[in-house]
């Protein structure tokens, strides 16, 4: 039976759980077992989802100590002989994963966004050249197959409840780095666009009046996001960018204002229920994906929407 190890990052537990869907797409109908590795954190959220939970506590391992964690994963692989090792593509894990690959003398496919099965076997698909093309990597070696997966692409669908075996690990050996956290500051971010149900997203076509998106979003109980063009201009943080070099989102409603919709942006839209595009160019790629296309000036659309919503709200208050 195949074995798949999923590393659970302490601050992004759900992203790790979502990789169960990645494992399912890799193995399909082939029998396999899922193993979760969690360090210095509560393993309760993993129960009934994984076949095996490997839990390790060691106060000398700090959250950012990739060297220690990579040694632990390497040690566990020698014990369990995993066929695949899956890691969420977070900032931390993008440093961790290459270290693990070097220790295991195996390849690493980073930022995977799709799993496919071709004539020659498993294929891992990822963006390349800043998202301008999609690269398909065929797996031919003996493994283990190791990949980082972009958060938000795969969603755990709550398959059958499993009888989870919890194995508490003891006295693991790893290199002592002396790394310690001196100070920690939280980023000032009010929301995660990956969790938003409604997104008002602006592109280059609304650059001059991007600040008008927020009043509309407030009225619709939505959040503001943007394409790369807006982020590159410094009008919004990269935390709110939709696309291959930003985040993958799955809102119920996505309103694209002045967005052309190049490949790198479209790849950031995953399982969106409803898309409304407002663009002076009805041939823009985003329009071909949209349920409704409004051909016209996005600024005018925003103003009319705000006016209409306020008017309806006033009528309800009377």
How many separate domains does the chain show? 2
- 153 and 23 in a single domain? The answer is yes
The predicted pLDDT at position 131 comes to 64
Write down the pTM of the prediction. Answer: 0.71
The predicted pLDDT at position 90 comes to 87
The predicted pLDDT at position 143 comes to 79
Directed axis angle between helix 93-104 and helix 66-80, to 10°?
40
DSSP 297-315: -HHHHHHHHHHHHHHHHHH
Q: Is 52 among the domain residues? A: yes
Angle at the Cα of 222 from the Cα atoms of 218 and 225, rounded to 5 degrees = 105
The predicted pLDDT at position 181 comes to 73
Domain that holds residue 310: 193-317
The predicted pLDDT at position 188 comes to 59
The predicted pLDDT at position 59 comes to 87
- 14 and 47 in a single domain? The answer is yes
pLDDT in tens, the chain (318 residues): 999 999 999 888 999 999 999 999 999 999 999 999 999 999 999 999 999 999 999 988 887 889 999 999 999 999 999 999 999 998 888 899 999 999 999 999 999 988 999 888 899 988 877 666 788 998 887 779 999 998 878 888 887 789 999 999 998 999 987 777 777 776 555 688 998 999 999 999 999 889 889 889 988 889 999 999 999 988 998 889 999 888 999 999 999 999 999 888 998 998 899 999 999 999 999 999 999 999 999 999 999 998 888 787 666 555
- 258 and 308 in a single domain? The answer is yes
What CATH number has the domain bearing residue 252?
3.40.50.1220
R_g (Cα) of the chain, nearest Å:
22
Burial of 103 (0-12, 13-18, 19+ CB in 10 A): middle
Q: Is 183 among the domain residues? A: no
Q: Is 309 among the domain residues? A: yes
The residues, any chain, with a CB within 8 Å of residue 238's CB and separated by 6 or more, are: 231, 245, 246
The predicted pLDDT at position 313 comes to 67
- 228 and 91 in a single domain? The answer is no
Query: For residue 8, which phi and psi values (nearest 5 degrees)?
Result: -100, 110
The predicted pLDDT at position 104 comes to 95
């Amino acid at each position: 039976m195949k074995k798949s190890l999923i590393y659970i990052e302490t601050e992004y537990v759900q992203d790790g759980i979502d990789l169960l869907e990645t494992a399912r797409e890799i193995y399909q109908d082939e029998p396999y077992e899922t193993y979760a590795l969690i360090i210095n954190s509560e393993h309760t959220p993993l129960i009934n989802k994984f076949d095996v939970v490997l839990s390790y506590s060691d106060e000398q391992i700090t959250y950012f100590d990739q060297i220690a964690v990579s040694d632990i994963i390497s040690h566990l692989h020698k014990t369990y002989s995993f066929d695949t090792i899956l890691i969420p593509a977070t900032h931390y894990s993008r440093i961790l994963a290459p270290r693990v690959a070097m220790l295991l003398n195996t390849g690493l496919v980073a930022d995977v966004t799709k799993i496919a099965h071709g004539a020659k076997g498993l294929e891992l698909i990822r963006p390349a050249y800043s998202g301008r093309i999609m690269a398909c990597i065929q797996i031919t070696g003996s493994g283990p197959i190791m990949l980082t997966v972009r958060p938000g692409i795969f969603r755990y669908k709550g398959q059958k409840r499993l009888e989870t075996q919890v194995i508490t690990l003891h006295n693991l050996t790893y290199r002592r780095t002396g790394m310690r956290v001196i100070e920690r500051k939280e980023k000032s971010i009010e929301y995660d666009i990956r969790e938003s149900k409604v997104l008002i997203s602006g592109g280059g076509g609304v650059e001059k009046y991007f600040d008008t998106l927020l009043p509309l979003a407030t009225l619709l109980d939505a959040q503001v996001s943007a394409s790369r063009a807006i982020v590159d201009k410094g009008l919004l943080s990269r935390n709110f960018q939709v696309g291959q070099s930003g985040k993958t989102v799955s809102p119920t409603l996505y309103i694209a204002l002045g967005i052309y919709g190049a490949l790198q942006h479209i790849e950031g839209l995953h399982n969106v229920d409803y898309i409304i595009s407002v663009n002076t160019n009805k041939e823009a790629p985003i329009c071909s994906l949209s349920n409704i296309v409004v051909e016209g000036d996005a600024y005018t659309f925003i103003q009319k929407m705000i006016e209409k919503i306020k008017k309806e709200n006033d009528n309800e208050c009377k």
